[in-house]
Amino acid sequence: MTPPRAIHAKLPAAQGYRMPAEWEPHESTWLAWPHFRGDWPGKFEPIPWVYAEIIRNLARHERVDLIVNDASSEKRARMVLEKADALSDTLADNVCFHRWRTDRVWTRDSGCIFLTSPADHADPRLLALHFQFNAWAKYPNYKFDEKVGVRMAQAAGAPVVHPFVVDSFKDKYRVVLEGGSIDVNGRGTLLTTEECLLSTTQQRNPSMDRAAYEQMFADYFGVQSVIWLDSGITGDDTHGHVDDITRFVAPNTVVTMVEPNERSENCAALHANLGRLKNARTAAGHKLEIVEIPMPHPVVFEDRQLPASYANFYIANGAVLVPVFNDPNDRIALNTLAEIFPTREIVPIYCGDLIWGFGALHCMTQQQPER
């Protein structure tokens, strides 16, 4: 199920493009302003203020490209941001508004994924992968979100590539993939989960098997090694996104969540993932250095356990934004990430309300790397 041989040389990896690691320099961070109350039923009121705190901290280090539905939405966003001191004289120029309709705010999944060209490229530029988005095969309202990736690419001046596969019947299919389902080290290694991409119930690309995914990652991301973890955490609305469990923080180093409480639903799954990481190798053949962080205590609302995890942090140019939950393990997570990123400011963001939307800091952000 690989693209026809005749066009293989035109695929991104064959041209030297790759997906850089999140800690590599950014030109900006993309966000979408919250507006759909149905994602936070009964808890929407604090959400814009959480966004304001995120934007205020990001704008101190890089440009924020902020998507708003229309002029009235921009006006409301500006009122909140001004009150939160996120549009002060020193920060205002670093917040750029884009008036585009969205269904939800999870830009990591609905937006494009940017690739960078090799350093010696005659015309250094970004390339944007625009995968098909189907709202995690769970929600019917995603027609605006499915267009966001192309609009982001156009704003960035990046040509758009629509990844596809060809099956045994020579039928061509656009690939469904969310940014939260993968994580890369920028050196040819990618993390993902079997639950998300290979489960018979995931309803993303039923014709693709493990080999087809690995070929697609090689063709479009420049990946030579895929580390397949088992499954995600309880409460995850996305069928096991990897950005809630394990993240690269250096070419040969990962942070992974562990659950010491044997009675927890997450204990067995996270222990299985840890075992796979210990046996994994990078594309360069190196064993992983594994840094463990304990899960926060369960965050439950309306009798539902939510996907609260410290792994959903976001690495910006001069900062790392870390979700916290007023939990004793918050300090362990913050101290651990401070040791890993000594040159970046570690910024705790309270996500006890935000997580009711089934996502946190990494889910809502998408980096645009420097070209």
Cα 58 from Cα 51, distance rounded (Å): 10
Taking the CA atoms of 310, 311, 312 and 313 in sequence, report the sign of the dihedral they define.
positive
Residue 115, number of CB atoms within 10 A of its CB = 24
Tell me, yes or no, if 196 is annotated catalytic: no
Q: Could you identify the residue written with the tokens 């203020």?
A: 49
Q: Could you give the dihedral angle defined by the CA atoms of residues 235, 34, 310 and 313, in that order, rounded to the nearest 10 degrees?
A: 140
Residue 278 token pair = 């210990």
Q: Which of 279, 276, 282, 187 is nearest to 225 (CA)?
A: 282
Name, in order, each residue with C-beta under 8 angstroms of 333's C-beta and a sequence gap of 6 or more. 293, 310, 322, 324
Q: Which of 164, 243, 170 is nearest to 205 (CA)?
A: 164
Q: Could you identify the residue written with the tokens 């019947």?
A: 169
Catalytic residue among 112, 196, 351, 363: 363
Which residues are catalytic, by number? 363
